[in-house]
């Protein structure tokens, strides 16, 4: 039987609301520009991701996805059933589409998402996609050109959730 995780059961991570992390690993002590070329990392999210800023209450960055490619399955659910590639806990996230077109599938079943059997909607450059608490989702670039979106994720109050695949917030 697979054990589920709840946000309140996860150990407290480093940092406070006042700390802001650039590229997830370097603390920012003074205001400064964040350059795209300094923030892009190759990752296993299904595209290249720009990890701009992480704070105790929000994350932001850019995601670059090639035509036809799918992202990982992300979960915004209260508990982790172990089926999503990434679990964020009860978070809210939005995407602002900068280039291309994306089909976003949402469900509570990761298997249906991966088989593309879940409800979906499309968003294009200039539009938003909003992911509320309680869902898993997966994004596919459905345009003939590479797609890019700005992502912003609210981190739920309470003990921080350790994400399975993201770069750790260690010092």
Query: pLDDT, tens digit, for every residue of 22-64?
Result: 444 556 666 766 666 666 665 556 666 666 666 666 777 888 8
Which CATH number is 21's domain given? 2.60.120.10
Q: Is the pLDDT of residue 118 over 90?
A: yes
In a domain, 68, yes or no: yes
In a domain, 14, yes or no: yes
Dmax of the chain from CA atoms? 48
pLDDT tens profile 93-115:
999 999 999 999 999 999 999 99
Question: Is residue 72, in this structure, part of any structural domain at all?
Answer: yes
167 located within any domain? no
For the chain, what is the domain count? Answer: 1
Assigned domain for 37 exists:
yes
User: Residue 164: inside a domain, yes or no?
Assistant: no
Residue 26 within any structural domain of the chain: yes
Which domain covers residue 43, as residue numbers? 5-154
Q: Is residue 85 part of a domain?
A: yes
Residue 47, number of CB atoms within 10 A of its CB: 22
Predicted TM-score (pTM) of this structure = 0.72
The pLDDT score that the predictor gives to residue 35 is 67
Among 67-71, 113-117, 121-125, the minimum mean pLDDT is found in 67-71
Q: Which of 86, 90, 88 is nearest to 165 (CA)?
A: 86
């Amino acid at each position: 039987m697979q054990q589920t995780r709840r946000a309140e059961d996860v150990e407290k991570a480093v940092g406070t609301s006042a700390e802001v992390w650039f590229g997830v690993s370097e603390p920012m002590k003074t205001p400064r520009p964040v350059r795209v070329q300094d923030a892009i990392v190759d990752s296993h999210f299904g595209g290249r991701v720009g990890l701009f800023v992480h704070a105790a209450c929000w994350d932001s960055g850019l995601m670059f996805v090639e035509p036809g490619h799918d992202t990982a399955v992300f979960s915004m659910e209260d508990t982790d059933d172990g089926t999503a590639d990434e679990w964020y806990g009860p978070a809210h996230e939005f995407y602002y589409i900068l280039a291309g077109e994306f089909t976003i599938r949402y469900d509570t079943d990761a298997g249906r998402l991966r088989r593309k059997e879940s409800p979906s909607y499309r968003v294009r450059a200039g539009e938003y996609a909003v992911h509320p608490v309680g869902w898993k989702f997966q994004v596919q670039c459905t345009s003939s050109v590479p797609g890019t979106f700005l992502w912003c994720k609210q981190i739920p109050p309470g003990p921080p959730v350790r994400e399975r695949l993201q770069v750790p917030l260690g010092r």
